[in-house]
Amino acid sequence: MTGTSSTSSTGSSAAAPSQSGPPSASPPGSGRAADATRRAPRLRTPRRRTLGRPGRSVLLTVLTGLVLLYTVIPLAWLVISATKTQEGLADSSGLWFGDDFALWDNISQTFTYDDGIFLRWLLNTLLYVVLGAGGATFLAILGGYALAKFDFPGKRAVFAVVIGAVAVPGTALAVPTFLMFSKMGLTDSPWAVIIPSLVSPFGLYLMWVFATEAIPVELLEAARIDGAGEARTFFRVALPLLAPGIVTVLLFTTVATWNNYFLPLIMLKDPDWYPLTLGLSSWNSQAETIGGDVIFNLVITGSLLTIVPLIGAFLLLQKYWQSGLAAGSVKE
């Protein structure tokens, strides 16, 4: 793994200065990548036509549509099912609405069931995301910037270890982490979920590739010559240029933390500290226990409520994270 990474790193650092010449005139670094993709089609279209390139294809659209159905039908099923009562779920077809439209009732029941524990889980999840994903993104920005723009003793070792760590399976870590944390008295507390979430090797990698490209070395040199300290240079010069990369990393660490299940499952016993994922799974397994309250309608409505914020964030921020991801893929 170290092989590719180091070769790609030299490749990118060699390419960066030559690329960063002309576009540095365009103010926010948001993206040379975005600019390039926006510009490119305009240049290409006339030539394509002269070369007789085939136009849009109905057949290809239909075939892609099949995959679209595959990804969207389960989501449609979830939305439709969230409008049904427990009885309606059993009575009616999965892909069409029942006689009863119980969505609002389901939502209010989801939030009030068991003294409003769902709201507590939602707030817990938000806490884990703000501290865990926020912290992971901040550490990845600092680390990625260091890998991209500084030469320091031990740099290669840091890089090799971090990339190697991506391949270490979660279980190899989860059990010893649990035992360690339990000796430190951290298990069954929010810290047991937040602290391991703070490290995102993938986020660091993405940020490193992005920073290599988005920050011209000359700009940093200029800031230093002007007498700015390292911290000031970072916050005033580098950070604004990294914005699209930051949105991308933040979104991916947020998904990782919001969707986290294995770690909380191991670390937490007290349902009061559960995130949404663990809470929903406990509601679902409730039906299995003898005499347990069967609340499939709440499991389904709760599931819908769990995915809505993330899907909303992805849709709202798509311009930013897609340009960040495109820049990240350049050097792969």
Site for other proteins in 200-229 (CB under 8 A): 204, 217-219, 221-223, 225-226
Least distance to other proteins from the beta carbon of 261, Å?
Answer: 5
> Judged by CB under 8 A, does residue 81 bind other proteins?
yes
Of residues 119, 123, 130, 166, which one binds other proteins by CB under 8 A?
166
Of residues 151, 270, 290, 291, which one binds other proteins by CB under 8 A?
151
> Judged by CB under 8 A, does residue 270 bind other proteins?
no
> Judged by CB under 8 A, does residue 142 bind other proteins?
yes
CA distance 192 to 209: 30
> What is the DSSP annotation of 39-65?
HHHHHHHHHHHHTT-----HHHHHHHH
Q: Give the CA distances from residue 3 to residues 57, 110, 161, 171, 182, in Å, rounded to whole numbers and listed in that order.
A: 41, 51, 13, 26, 37
Least distance to other proteins from the beta carbon of 80, Å?
Answer: 11
CA distance 207 to 243: 10
> Judged by CB under 8 A, does residue 132 bind other proteins?
no
Show contacts with other proteins in window 250-269 (CB under 8 A).
Answer: 255, 258-259, 261-262, 265-266
Beta carbons of 318 and 299 less than 8 angstroms apart:
no
Least distance to other proteins from the beta carbon of 104, Å?
Answer: 21
Cβ neighbors of 319 (< 8 A, separation 6 or more) are: 34
Which residue's entry shows tokens 């239909």?
62
CA distance 139 to 196: 13
> Judged by CB under 8 A, does residue 112 bind other proteins?
no
Of 117 and 146, the one with the shorter C-beta distance to other proteins is 146
Angle, alpha carbons 191-126-303 (nearest 5°): 115
Which residue's entry shows tokens 């992005």?
210
Of 109 and 281, the one with the shorter C-beta distance to other proteins is 281
> Judged by CB under 8 A, does residue 140 bind other proteins?
yes
Least distance to other proteins from the beta carbon of 247, Å?
Answer: 15
Binding mask 293-312 for other proteins (x = CB under 8 A): ---x--xx--x--xx--xx-
> Judged by CB under 8 A, does residue 169 bind other proteins?
yes
Angle between helical axes of 201-214 and 318-329 (0-180°, round to 10): 80
Least distance to other proteins from the beta carbon of 187, Å?
Answer: 12
